[in-house]
Amino acid sequence: MAAPESECGGSDGYRDLRGVRVDLDTGAARAGGGGGFAVSFWLYLSVSARPSSVILHQITAGDDTKLPFLALGEGNKLLLFPLMRLHREAPAPASSYPWTDTTNLSSTSVCPLEKWFHIGCEVTENVMRLHVDGFLTAEAPLCSLFDEPDSQDDSNQISLVGNDGKLEGYIYNIEVSYVLGAIKEQYTKNPPFKLSIDYSCSDGIEEGDDGIWSIVGGKASCRRNFILEVVLTNAFGEPVKDKEVVSSLVYADDGTVVAKSRDDSEPPLLITCEGLEYAAISRPLPIIRGRALFKLKISQVSSPYVNHPCYVYSFSLHWTEKRNYLSLSVSLMWSIIMMVVACFLSIITWCLFQLSSKCDNKLFRIKFSTLHMQRYSFLEAYSKPIRCISRSRTVRPLGPTKRASSATANEIDMLSNGQGFVSTDKVNSRGHSVCLHTPMFPKIEDGMVEVVEAHKIVSQNKNARKVVVSKEAQNVIGTDSSTSNYDSFDSGSSWSGSEGDDGIETFSDAVVFRYCLDSTYDRSKFLRGASLTVNKDDLVKLADRVSLYSGCSHHRNQILMSKRLLREGADTWNMISKNNERALWSSAIPEIITKFTNIAHSVRRGLSEQDLEVLRGIAGCGEDIGRDEFDRLWCWLYPVAVSLSRERIKKLWDCTAPRWIEGLITTEEAESALRSSRELLKEAGTFVLRFPITRSWPHPDAGSLVVTYIGSDSSIHHRLLSLDSSDASAEKLQDLLLQEPELSQLGRVDRVSITIRR
């Protein structure tokens, strides 16, 4: 009766609840050496499950009467009923919810929905036991119907059958054993899979008060990247490998795939891989250490606007070879029509060729599904509803703006010399030393594009010198893409003169505001182009203004470190790759460790084998590593190393008794350290420190410390640790942490066989 074990989580072991049937022989159970039998399986219930839902019925041969065997009782707790033809306490045919007058075994906890959990039922003539996730939760003595074994006939045959369609659910790896005591072993082997979306890693998405996402789509010059990360894990939360996941755009109301409007049009959903765009439906991504990062764009799709209620007038669009004209048929006066056309002609033309769900009241979702596995709801994941909007990337040129800076270029040198983050009180004059707060920006685990080759065009007039960065950087900040004569840029353009140009601002307000509103991915491309062509003074001014306009001083450090981060990253890759496209991971490790210790000024502690595995997971590489994968690793590791160069954090890192910072740990490891078992949390106030895996340069929180702790509400929380270096000499950071009312004791992360490598 066991499901095949050739593949962990394999599709052969999954069954729809409606198609489940298991035959039991009570006579064989009574004659067995253990005196009974055990039924075990993994169960997945949808949100439609309600109290009174019967999960498994019991029937006998030749009798269509169905009695409950496993059901949901009050509070969605599991109920296990005695077996007919075996126990005197078996439910009667007339019994019904809430089964208060029927003997049953009840679980102590609420049955989880849309989550795999394991059920084990041990049945003997005199006892029944209910196990949930390997633990015994209920046991009850029963009375046998037989004083002596009966002969095996049809009266001994009992079948367990699934729900008849009223409950949506799935069963995996159902087994019947006539040897008791094997429930724990069956629980630990061959767990099922589940695909989900890690919303903490999304980027490029605006969420409204109604919970609907707004994503910029449309034609190529307007649409923008947004990032979603999917997670494929087994029931124990362990990452799954050697699988592929594909994405598609579907309608939110019925799940129908959005099709191309015509053969020569772009696919509705595009995916960016290695700098190139592909149809998302035809480009699956491999699952690496349980995760896959999707960089997506929604392209233009023709929508049926004719006679749509969103438009007051009906119209038809006609094209000729010589000219384009709009033919409108309306019932109003021509003078009014001409006024309407003059005002809204560009808007109508723009909307006609956009995927504009605001106009046609259509909402979308991104659907993720696994390849080469049968389609089940737990192997599919849907994003929140999406409203596609369109925005122009053209920014109206602004005149010269006032120079405002409270910093000097020496602060960049401080970062370059490994002196850690500069003081933030120059920006907002805060006086406290440490505080916990929620992140101001969503998490992002951003892949990095290759360094864009920058081009400088210097005019012949030395007194009016202009500096222009790469075309890609101009596109990111919103410069009109139709401009081709770079020498004709005036002072209102996004990039203009630097030193020696009195009265001319290098970065206009439009550029600064755009940086504040852009995604981490677009900020990265912007800084890659800007850092190669802009001098230190202008970079400091940009950092000050972004910090001022965004209200977040953390942006400042990311901008200031960009020059050295990119330069040392390129040098490190050249040493690792030796001018090859890829390099062995084993050969990259020594150089990565050397760079880390040099930047962090860490001589007492290096990186452990577990730290290196975490870095490998961030890079998303296997036995070898490429440039894109190295960039992902470097843009996460460099801010961490700079943060560790700060004296107060460095003391935490070097401290080993107790170990205040266990190392480079994942969110899952941190949360596991706060649990005494899978279901039970440790004492409130227990905490661990970690660097957030999902925040890479230039995310404002890259390199920051996060406190993961158990709050007074007995749940796990994650808070960013904000440090003010103006009070660096007051107290030890350890003492300041323990002064926080919600933090009382340091937790311990169990990491076996730790080997420090230097």
Q: pLDDT tens across 200-250, in order? A: 778 888 888 888 998 888 888 778 889 999 999 999 988 888 899 999 999
- Tell me, yes or no, whether 134 and 219 share the same domain: no
Residue 507 lies in a domain: no
Domain that holds residue 142: 11-191
Sequence-ordered list of residues with C-beta below 8 angstroms from that of 538, at least 6 positions apart, any chain: 498, 506, 507
Residue 486 lies in a domain: no
Alpha helices, DSSP H, located in 129-234? 183-188
- Tell me, yes or no, whether 260 and 198 share the same domain: yes
Of the pLDDT bands very low, low, confident and very high (cuts 50, 70, 90), residue 155 is low
Residue 249 lies in a domain: yes
Q: How far apart are CA 299 and CA 224, in angstroms?
A: 9
Domains identified in the chain, total number = 4
Contact assessment for residue 192 and residue 370, using Cβ atoms and an 8 Å cutoff:
no
Cα angle 507, 510, 514 (rounded to 5 degrees) comes to 100
- Tell me, yes or no, whether 217 and 126 share the same domain: no
Return the pLDDT at 435.
53
Return the pLDDT at 689.
93
CATH code (residue 263): 2.60.40.720
- Render pLDDT for 66-110 as a digit per residue (tens, 0 to 9): 899 999 988 889 999 998 888 888 898 878 888 888 888 998 888
| pLDDT > 60? residue 309 | no
Residue 123 lies in a domain: yes
- Render pLDDT for 436-448 as a digit per residue (tens, 0 to 9): 544 333 333 333 3
pTM: 0.54
- Tell me, yes or no, whether 370 and 342 share the same domain: no
Q: How far apart are CA 120 and CA 134, in angstroms?
A: 7
Residue 610 lies in a domain: yes
Of the pLDDT bands very low, low, confident and very high (cuts 50, 70, 90), residue 344 is low
Of the pLDDT bands very low, low, confident and very high (cuts 50, 70, 90), residue 679 is low
Q: Is the dihedral of CA 146, 149, 153, 157 positive or negative?
A: positive
For the sheet with 14-16, list strands across it.
14-16, 169-177, 36-45, 117-124, 127-132, 135-141
- Tell me, yes or no, whether 283 and 181 share the same domain: no
Which of the pair, 148 or 609, is modelled with greater confidence? 609
